[in-house]
A and B are shown apart, each in its own frame.
Chain A
Amino acid sequence: MEYVDSLTGFRLDGRRPNDMRQIRGEIGVVAKADGSALFEMGNTKVIAAVYGPREVQNKGQQINNQALVRCEYSMANFSTGDRTRRPKGDRRSTEISLVIRQTMEACILVHLMPRSQIDIFVQVLQADGGTRSACINAATLALADAGIPMRDLVTSCSAGYLSSTPLLDLNYVEDSAGGPDVTVGILAKTDKVTLLQMDSKLPIDIFENVMQLAIEGCKAIAQYIREVLLENTKLLESRKGL
């Protein structure tokens, strides 16, 4: 199957190889949460809610000099093409929960909030490839909305290599093509990589190109997230009458 048309260079959904899908982020969607955000990347829609810092529920897990970060990832039954009944603790959800937790833990200043707990919950409403990245981006927005101190914004994007072309931000069809899928998460300003996952096979020099492309995508998302947060701050300022 031709993932990149040889004549026009367009992908299956009409994008160019370096084009990301349309992104949209909104803060404060869950009123009761300390921080929440809705993040869309194309057809992938994800809601993240952050509760904390609050008291640790399980005293046995309390850490005396830093905060405990917990994360739970779940997909709605109708989020994918076929409705599947997902058991809560299935392997894929547990793995992604762990990945998101460790990625966010790297950037939250946990030493400022000892003996407390920060909960990050992510719910996938619609899945069309790149759910991991959308979840991390939504979690960053939600943490910022909750006012939790962070080192930097963490953004994530995926890239692949099909029909001999590096492609940015794979959707579900491209992801299931069996080619390599590289997901990168970076700290935007300091340009450090916190998450890097790849499957399938890639020659090393091509891998470098694909990873660089994904990092470009992450930076673009970071720019957008900054704009959303700035808009939100201006709105808060005007509400407070400043």
Chain B
Amino acid sequence: MAAATSTAFGGGETGGGGLAAGEMEVEAYRRLFPLAFYERHLRDSVRPDARPLHRARDTSIALGPVASADGSALVKIGDTTMLAAIKLEVMTPATDAPDEGSLAIEFYMPPICSPTVRPGRPAEVAPVISKQLSDTIISSQMINLKELSLVSGKASWMSYLDIYCLNADGALFDAALLSAIAAFSHLQIPLVSLNDDGKVITVSEELLEGKPSVELVNKEKRKLPLQRIPFSLTCLLHEKYILADPTAEEESVMETFVTVVLDSLGQLVSIYKPGGAVLARRSTVKECIRLTKQRIDELKNILDESASAMEVA
């Protein structure tokens, strides 16, 4: 956030809402004439937090913050914080897909995340992002559902992915998708065995040592293999400027955005531009795709680093 220095901000610009003479504090100008405030920065190709237009905020991933979940991750992009956790339960697979498990993905914005979310008035964007996430993860085919099968026709894994937004400061979809991927990369499938009733139950490590005769359905705890991991970048469009990874303040001032999702092989998974005042030309969309490609390299590195940090610990 900008430092609280009260330098005078000279008026006399038609874009500033007709501020004729006189000066005003920066913070007041920022609140009263937000668009003019931003345009003055954009002309110098910079943003109020000193980022160049195409740079994303500092991103960090921490794996395994929720010890009780089978896989979890805490992701921060700037101040936006997402906590994702996966719990696996055994279920009977559908009759038309006896060799496949299933995924249930949900996104929540509890009232702690933003002053605009209140009990009785949930965030409008929460179900939208929930659906977007669900569609993106399933259609990218990152997870092969056959890997979630246990006993064909009898038992398979239902994985519940819950993502909670703990701090909403823009680019919610990007952070949520990254946290989902990180949680899946951390996921360890627990050991199961058949008990006397023919039901599949989870087996904890301690139980195993005491009873060598327990028949295991899957031989060892394993990680879920992920192919074609999707990564995303949201860009704001304003006149001829493209701002990558917006903060909540930027999103409230300039409303048109494009979210591009590419997978780790560089193929396009989805483009999402839900209307908005700015009409994008083809060159703009191509530029957004190029920025996303750049971002993917950064994100891949961060994800690999966090995975190796886990192994060292």
Minimum distance in angstroms from A101 CB to a CB of chain B = 12
Contact of B68 among A33, A36, A81 (CB under 8 A): A81
**Partner of B112 from A33, A43, A57 at Cβ < 8 Å:** A33
* CB of A223 to closest CB in B, whole Å: 26
Residues of A with C-beta under 8 A to B169: 31-32
Within 8 A of B (CB), among A142-183: none
A43 near B79 (CB under 8 angstroms)? no
* Contact in complex: A30, B113 (CB < 8 Å): yes
Q: Is B114 an interface residue (CB 8 A)?
A: yes
- Contact present for A123 and B79 (CB under 8 Å): no
Chain A residues with CB below 8 A from B79, complex form: 31-32
Cβ of B111 under 8 Å from chain A: yes
Q: Which residue of A lies closest to B72 (CB)?
A: A78
Cα separation A104 to B164 with both chains bound (whole Å): 26
Across-interface contacts of B164 in A (CB, < 8 A): 76, 123, 125
What total of chain B residues lie within 8 Å of the partner, measured CB to CB?
A: 31
A32 to B169, CA, bound (A): 8
Closest Cβ of chain B to A79, distance in Å, is: 7
Q: Contact string, B83-98, partner A, CB cutoff 8 A, digits 1/0?
A: 1011101000000000
Tell which of B68, B115, B119, B248 touches A70, judged by Cβ atoms closer than 8 Å.
B119
Q: Are B168 and A74 in contact (CB under 8 A)?
A: no
Q: How far is the CB of A108 from chain B (nearest CB, A)?
A: 18
- Give the contact stretch, choosing among A45-53, A211-219, A225-233: A45-53
CA distance A121 to B164 in the complex (A): 14
Chain A residues within an 8 Å CB radius of B110: 74, 121, 123
**A180 smallest CB distance to B (angstroms):** 26
Residues of B within 8 A of A34 (CB): 115
A47 to B83, CA, bound (A): 12
Closest to B160 in A: A83
Which chain A residues border B66 with CB–CB below 8 Å? Answer: 78-79, 125-126
Q: Is A62 an interface residue (CB 8 A)?
A: no
Q: CB-CB < 8 A to A70: which residues of B?
A: 119
B118 at the interface (CB under 8 A from A): yes
Measured between beta carbons, the chain A residues less than 8 angstroms from B85 are: 76-78
CB contact under 8 A between A83 and B89, given known A31-B167, A57-B118? yes
Interchain nearest-CB distance for A140 vs B (Å): 16
- Report whether B111 and A79 are in contact in the complex, using a CB–CB cutoff of 8 Å: no
Instruction: Give which listed residue, B67, B89, B166, contacts A126 with CB less than 8 A.
Output: B67
CB-based nearest B residue for A79: B68
B189 within 8 A of A: no
Query: Which residue of chain A is the closest to B4 with respect to CB atoms?
Result: A240
Contacts of A29 in B (CB 8 A): 166-167
Q: Roughly how many angstroms separate A83 CA and B106 CA in the complex, as a whole number? A: 13
Q: Chain B residue with minimal CB distance to A240?
A: B4
Chain B minimum-CB-distance residue to A43: B67
Q: How far is the CA of A72 from the CA of B106 in the complex (A)?
A: 21
Q: For residue B165, give the distance in angstroms from its CB to the closest CB of chain A.
A: 10
Evaluate whether A49 and B67 lie within 8 angstroms (CB atoms) in the complex, with A32-B169, A119-B118 already known: no
Q: In the complex, how many residues of chain A place their beta carbon closer than 8 angstroms to a beta carbon of chain B? A: 32
User: Which residues B152-196 have CB closer than 8 A to chain A?
Assistant: 160, 162, 164, 166-169
Interface set, chain A 27-83, CB cutoff 8 A to B: 29-34, 36, 43, 47-49, 51, 54, 57, 70, 72, 74, 76-83
> Is A32 within 8 A of B83, CB to CB?
no
- B111 A119 Cβ-Cβ under 8 A: yes
Complex alpha-carbon distance, A70 and B68, angstroms: 30
Please tell me if the beta carbons of A47 and B166 are within 8 angstroms of each other in the complex. yes
User: Quick one: closest A residue to B84, CB to CB?
Assistant: A78
Residues of A within 8 A of B115 (CB): 32-34, 51, 54
**Residues on the B chain within 8 Å of A36, using CB:** 112
Q: Mark B104-126, 1 if CB is under 8 A from A, else 0.
A: 00101011111100110100000
The verdict on B103 contacting chain A, using a C-beta distance below 8 Å, is no
Within 8 A of A (CB), among B210-266: 248
Instruction: Check if B137 is an interface residue, CB within 8 A of chain A.
Output: no
Interface of chain B residues 251 through 287 with chain A (CB within 8 A): none
A48, A70, A125: which has the most chain B beta carbons within 10 Å?
A125
| Chain A residues in 8 Å Cβ range of B129 | none
CB distance from A137 to the nearest CB of B (A): 16
Closest Cβ of chain A: how far from B184's Cβ, in Å?
14
Whether a CB of chain A sits under 8 angstroms from the CB of B24 is no
- Within 25-48 of B, Cβ neighbours of A (below 8 Å) are at none
Q: List 22 A-B contacts (CB under 8 A).
A: A30-B112, A30-B166, A31-B167, A31-B169, A32-B167, A32-B168, A77-B160, A78-B68, A78-B69, A78-B72, A79-B66, A83-B89, A83-B162, A88-B119, A119-B118, A121-B112, A122-B112, A123-B112, A123-B164, A125-B66, A125-B164, A126-B68
19 additional A-B pairs beyond A47-B112, A121-B111, A125-B83, beta carbons within 8 Å, are A30-B81, A30-B113, A30-B167, A32-B113, A36-B112, A43-B67, A48-B112, A49-B113, A76-B85, A76-B108, A77-B106, A78-B72, A83-B162, A88-B119, A121-B110, A121-B112, A123-B164, A123-B166, A126-B66
3 smallest beta-carbon distances between A and B, as pairs: A49-B112, A83-B87, A78-B85
